[in-house]
Amino acid sequence: MSGEEKVVCVTGASGYIASWLVKLLLERGFSVKASVRDLDDPRKTEHLLSLEGAKERLHLLRADLFEEGAFDALVEGCEGVFHTASPIAFSANDPEAELIEPAVKGTLNVLRSCVKVPSIKRVVITSSTASIWYNGKPLNSDVVVDETWFSDPVYCEQNKLWYILSKTLAEKAAWQFAKENGIDLVTIHPGISIGPLLQPTLNVSSEIFMNFIKGRAQKFPFPAYTFIDVRDVAFAHIQAFEVPSASGRYCLVGNVLNSYETLKILKELYPASSLPEECEDEKALLPKHQVSKEKAKSLGVNFTPLEVSFRDTVESLKEKGFIDI
Ligand SMILES: NC(=O)c1ccc[n+]([C@@H]2O[C@H](COP(=O)([O-])OP(=O)(O)OC[C@H]3O[C@@H](n4cnc5c(N)ncnc54)[C@H](OP(=O)(O)O)[C@@H]3O)[C@@H](O)[C@H]2O)c1
């Protein structure tokens, strides 16, 4: 199926994952309506407007997750909706206002706009592994996490995992709303997305990766690194819309590594660099679980080799002036 003449929309288009999604959609011939929060900020728009095909087929609209009805104009006339916008932060002064409300209410706002538009065939939401495996079950090397796993909101709250709680509650609300309103919904659950940055600013997952290079890996709050290439994430979103049989949830993790392994690969790729000698992370050598790739493969995802993702991320961070190794 070709994207020619199909109109789709992407929320939070300035972001790391969404920018790649917009790029791939334009390359496939789609017309893309894309929401950004601040149309006057060139750091949020210029990288999108300079994409190939943008002049002819990219339309930027302003929308904020907090505003009821803000997405009506965006989804109007679309066949597919990709909802990626959601705040990411691992600490918050007011978790409810900064993370949970925009994630949950924002998702419902987008879905409420979708219900009004009969041309919409499917909605694809960018969820996360965050809503999959935070439930207190032991995660040792015998465990293969898959799409049947659900994070437990109570566990997240008890452990003050506010971003994870926001993604867990937003996904739950989305499935409930989709069921009640007959929306064909697919959710994509990427791990830590790495790979080249299109946007000029640093997003959280690129920062997590950069922290390795700067010797600050101990700041990472999770037991293992579930890496996935951002280009695979964008591709999976499009497949989730295009493949008629796509349904339900899709985990998207290429490799699970502990800190020690991550640093070892980086050192092999950049032997002459001044990478930290040792990982300061106390979880550096923890055994790690695996994440099933079977469902993602059924979408046609060919996972980018880890070394390619690592090298491309480092080169992109260097090119944009974030690191110097
Ligand atoms: N990166 C990862 O490793 C990863 C992994 C799993 C899942 N995810 C999910 O993927 C999605 C995109 O993440 P990303 O890494 O690409 O993050 P990002 O670069 O920070 O992009 C997030 C986007 O959400 C928008 N946004 C935040 N609050 C908003 C609000 N109140 N109203 C409208 N838009 C708002 C941001 O708009 P502004 O540009 O205006 O701030 C930005 O465009 C998120 O749903 C995230 O949970 C990411």
Determine the distance from the C-alpha atom of residue 299 to the mean position of all C-alpha atoms in its chain, rounded to a whole number: 17
Percent of the chain with pLDDT strictly greater than 70: 94
Q: What is the pLDDT of residue 207?
A: 93
Q: Give the span between the Cα atoms of 18 and 23, in whole angstroms.
A: 8
Mutation to probe ligand 1, out of 10, 11, 14, 17 (largest number of atoms < 8 A from CB) = 17
Mean pLDDT estimate for the chain: 93
**Cβ atoms within 10 Å of 248's Cβ, excluding its own:** 12
Q: How far is the centre of ligand 1, averaged over its atoms, from the C-alpha of 286 (Å)?
A: 29
Ligand 1 atom having least distance to the Cα of 87: 27
Ligand 1 binding pocket includes 195 (Cβ within 6 Å): no
Instruction: Evaluate whether 9 touches 32 at the Cβ level (below 8 Å).
Output: yes
Q: Is 87 in the pocket of ligand 1 (CB under 6 A)?
A: yes
Q: Quote the pLDDT of residue 221.
A: 58
**Among residues 3, 6, 50, 44, which one has the least CA distance to residue 27?**
3
Q: Which of 190-194, 252-256, 276-280, 308-312 has the lowest mean pLDDT?
A: 276-280
Q: 302 burial class (0-12, 13-18, 19+ CB within 10 angstroms)?
A: exposed
Terminal CA-CA length for the chain: 43
Q: Is 193 in the pocket of ligand 1 (CB under 6 A)?
A: yes
Nearest CA to ligand 1 atom 28: 87
Check if 304 has its Cβ closer than 6 Å to any atom of ligand 1. no
Count Cβ atoms within 10 A of the Cβ of residue 215 and give its class: 0-12 exposed, 13-18 middle, 19 or more buried: middle
Residue-level pLDDT at 258 = 85
Indicate if ligand 1 lies below 6 Å from the C-beta of 167: yes
The atom number, within ligand 1, closest to the CA of 11 reads 34
80 in ligand 1 pocket by Cβ < 6 Å?
Answer: no
How much distance in Å is there from the Cα of 203 to the middle of ligand 1?
8
User: What is residue 325's predicted lDDT score, i.e. its pLDDT?
Assistant: 82
pLDDT for 210-260, tens place per residue?
Answer: 988 887 765 555 668 899 999 999 999 999 999 999 999 999 999 999 888
CA of 171 to the centre of ligand 1 (A): 15
Contact 78, 34 (CB under 8 A): no
Nearest atom in ligand 1 to the alpha carbon of residue 63 is 33
Does ligand 1 come within 6 angstroms of the Cβ of 181? no
Does 45 sit in the ligand 1 pocket, CB within 6 Å?
Answer: no
The pLDDT of residue 54: 98
Q: Is the CB of 14 under 6 A from ligand 1?
A: yes
Residue 139 CA to ligand 1 center (angstroms) comes to 27
Q: pTM for this one? A: 0.96
Q: Is the CB of 128 inside a 6 Å radius of any atom of ligand 1?
A: yes
Residue 158 pLDDT > 60, yes or no?
Answer: yes
The predicted-structure confidence for 103-155, as pLDDT tens digits, reads as follows 999 999 999 999 999 999 999 999 999 999 999 998 888 999 999 999 999 99
SS (H, E, C) the chain: CCCCCCEEEEECCCCHHHHHHHHHHHHCCCEEEEEECCCCCHHHHHHHHCCCCHHHHEEEEECCCCCCCCCHHHHCCCCEEEECCCCCCCCCCCHHHHHHHHHHHHHHHHHHHHHCCCCCCEEEEECCHHHCCCCCCCCCCCCEECCCCCCCHHHHHHCCCHHHHHHHHHHHHHHHHHHHHCCCEEEEEECEEECCCCCCCCCHHHHHHHHHHCCCHHHCCCCCEEEEEHHHHHHHHHHHHHCCCCCEEEEECCEEECHHHHHHHHHHHCCCCCCCCCCCCCCCCCCCCEECCHHHHHCCCCCCCHHHHHHHHHHHHHHCCCCCC
